[in-house]
Amino acid sequence: MNVRYSLRGGVIFLLTRTILIWLLVYFCKNSVRVKQRSRIGDSKRILALNVNRFRGDLELLDQDDRITILRMPYLWQGRLYYWFFGEELETEPSEVLRQRKQYRQFLERFLSRLYRLLDIDLVLGSGIHYKVAEDWGAISESLGYSYVVLHREGYMGSPFEDEYIAAPGQMGKRFPGSMLIFQTQRHREIVVKSGFVSESNSAVSGVMRMDDFIRASCSTIPQSTVFKSDRRKRITLFSFGPSTGFITVPPIWPIDPENYLMEMCYKTHVLVARYAVNHADIDVTIKTKWGGRWLEEIHKILGEHGIESSDVENLEILTESSAQELIGKSDVVVGYGSTTLLEAAIVGLPVIVPRFDELLRDDFKKYLLYPDIDEAFNIAEGPDKLERLIEENLANPGIDEQQMTARKRAFTRYISSLNGDAVERSIKLLLSVESA
- Domains of the chain in start order, with CATH, are 3-207+420-432 (3.40.50), 221-414 (3.40.50.2000)
Phi and psi at residue 198, in whole multiples of 5°? Answer: -90, 165
pLDDT given at position 13: 60
Provide, rounded to the nearest whole percent, the portion of the chain with pLDDT above 70. Answer: 89
> Residue 436 above 70 pLDDT?
no
Task: Identify the band that residue 35 occupies on the pLDDT scale cut at 50, 70 and 90.
Answer: confident
Cα 14 to Cα 351: distance, rounded to the nearest angstrom: 60
Q: For 122-153, write each residue's pLDDT tens digit.
A: 999 999 988 889 999 999 999 999 999 999 98
Q: What is the pLDDT at residue 225?
A: 45
How far the first Cα of the chain sits from its last, in Å, is 36
pLDDT tens-digit map of 342-367: 999 999 999 999 999 999 999 999 99
Average pLDDT over residues 211-231: 65
Residues 6+ apart with CB under 8 A from 157: 186, 369, 370, 371, 372, 373, 414
Q: What is the mean pLDDT of residues 88-97?
A: 64
The number of CA neighbours under 13 Å toward the Cβ of 225 is 11
Alpha helices in 286-400 (DSSP H): 293-304, 323-329, 339-346, 383-395
Taking the model in full, what pTM does it have? 0.88
Average of per-residue pLDDT values in the chain: 90
Closest CA to 430 of 175, 66, 155, 160: 66
Residue 5 has pLDDT above 90, yes or no: no
Q: What is the pLDDT of residue 87?
A: 58
Task: Tell me the helix, strand and coil percentages in the chain, rounded to 5.
Answer: 50, 10, 35
Please state which of the ranges 16-25, 134-143, 205-214 shows the lowest mean pLDDT. 16-25
> In 44-117, at which residue ranges do the beta strands (DSSP E only) sit?
44-48, 67-71
Average pLDDT for 68-85: 88
CA angle (247, 250, 253) in 5-degree steps: 100
Q: Which pLDDT band holds residue 115 (cuts at 50, 70, 90)? A: very high
- Who wins on pLDDT, 321 or 226? 321
Count other Cβ atoms within 10 Å, centred on residue 51: 20
Q: How confident is the model at residue 100 (pLDDT cuts 50, 70, 90)?
A: confident
Strand pairing class (67-71; 33-34) = antiparallel
Give tens-digit pLDDT for 363-385: 999 999 999 999 999 999 999 99
